[in-house]
Amino acid sequence: MKLPRKYPLFSILFVIGLANLSLTSCERSPEKGIEIRGIYGDPKPLWDKGFKLKQLGVNAIFVHSGAINKDMIVRARAEGAQVFAEFATLNGKNYVDTHPEAWAINEHGERVEAASWFMGVCPTEPGFKKYRTDQLRNLLLEYDIDGVWMDYVHWHAQFEDPEPILPETCFCDHCLDDCSKYSNLEIPKGITAQKAEWILNSQNTAWRTWRCKVIYDWTLDFKGIMTQVKPNALLGLYHCPWDDLEFNGARIRILGLDYELLKKTIDVFSPMVYHQRMGRDPLWVQENIEWFSEKLSEGSSNPPKIWPIVQAHNEPGIISAQEFETALKGGLSGKSTGVMMFTTRSIAEDVDKREVMIKLYNQLKEQSGQ
């Protein structure tokens, strides 16, 4: 298990000193074109304080699909902001309680337990797939939005903690049958635990490859619906920011996130670089985005866009305005062309953090001429 990165004191002081002197190199280069100055969450806490989005330098809001309404869209657009819907894709909370057939099954043949606060779902269960795709189609037909950001797009697990929860799933009949057909495997007869043991011991590579394909297929199906219903809307992805080696390669091995596949369908990647929640130094945000920028560019002349989401929310602990500034600027490093923070309320309730955002966003606004 890879521990959070540590930095020598002199390196931290040096980098923070540079950050205080100016914007990051990407921010000083107008030709890079920072497109998005975003907030995540209902803008109401800011509107209640009398702010307008344009005044704050904000030109995009990212809001849970269930909280979007037509009045919000009209007002946001009037204040110069695009509207993107966050879509909780593979979150099975509540659904699995009334649809037990969609409950993910572990290598012991048992239903998985909720991972911290997250309850995943079996991503191959046909009823759940229809349920979510119907929701997506209805959302696109009802609201004039600029894009949809898929969230919770991974097999059942919890990655937003220093010690993540990484179970082996899913060994239900749907998954075993689908894997068998896709990988041309003849899985031995027996109880679920015996089948899982055989797969993990003798067909591990085929199993991991198939699991990544399942996640990719979700993005492919979503992209197809969006192309049909709202072809100009963007498809974004909130995702785990781990590199290829962290936690023994768990991003691919457990979560099923293969960037080489996903960049075929995703227009914008939004790494969830929540430094404090993950037990990292705020400087890790820049390090991660620079790595991810190179990773996404491998073999691509025109890779997808990168708009990270950084942490402003005080949980766990308190994030200072200085930490938030470091994280926000780090999110604009590498080949990022936008950034947003979690959450709107955290900015509305903290004057110092709000001032950090206003100053940076308006500088970027002046550079872009928008």
DSSP string covering 4-25, please?
PP---HHHHHHHHHHHHHS--T
pLDDT value at position 20? Answer: 41
Query: Tens of pLDDT along the chain (370 residues)?
Result: 333 333 333 333 333 343 443 343 333 343 468 999 999 999 999 999 999 999 999 999 999 999 999 999 999 999 999 999 999 999 999 999 999 999 999 999 999 999 888 999 999 999 999 999 999 999 999 999 999 999 999 999 999 999 999 999 999 999 999 999 999 999 999 999 999 999 999 999 999 999 999 999 999 999 999 999 999 999 999 999 999 999 999 999 999 999 999 999 999 999 999 999 999 999 999 999 999 999 999 999 899 999 999 999 998 999 999 999 999 999 999 999 999 999 999 999 999 999 999 999 999 999 887 7
DSSP assignment of 295-321, as one string?
A: HHHTT-SSPPEE--EEE-S--SS---H
Collapsed DSSP state (helix, strand, coil) of residue 62: strand
* Of 241, 304, 270, the residue nearest 150 (C-alpha): 270
Least Cα distance to 309 among 24, 41, 47 occurs for 41
- Sorted by where each begins, the domain ranges of the chain are 33-368
Burial class (CB in 10 A: 0-12, 13-18, 19+), 198: middle
Which residue do the tokens 């995540």 mark? 40
Q: Give yes or no for a contact between 242 and 251, defined as CB atoms under 8 angstroms apart.
A: yes
Residue 98 is predicted with a pLDDT of 97
In this predicted structure, what is the pLDDT of residue 145? 98
pLDDT score, position 369: 77
3-state SS assignment for residue 269: strand
Structure tokens at 344: 């709107």
Residue 335's Cβ-count burial label (10 Å; 0-12, 13-18, 19+) is middle
pTM of the model: 0.91
The Cα–Cα gap between 302 and 305 comes to 9
Fold classified for 33-368: TIM Barrel (3.20.20)
The single-letter DSSP state of residue 65 is: G
Coil vs helix vs strand at 327: helix
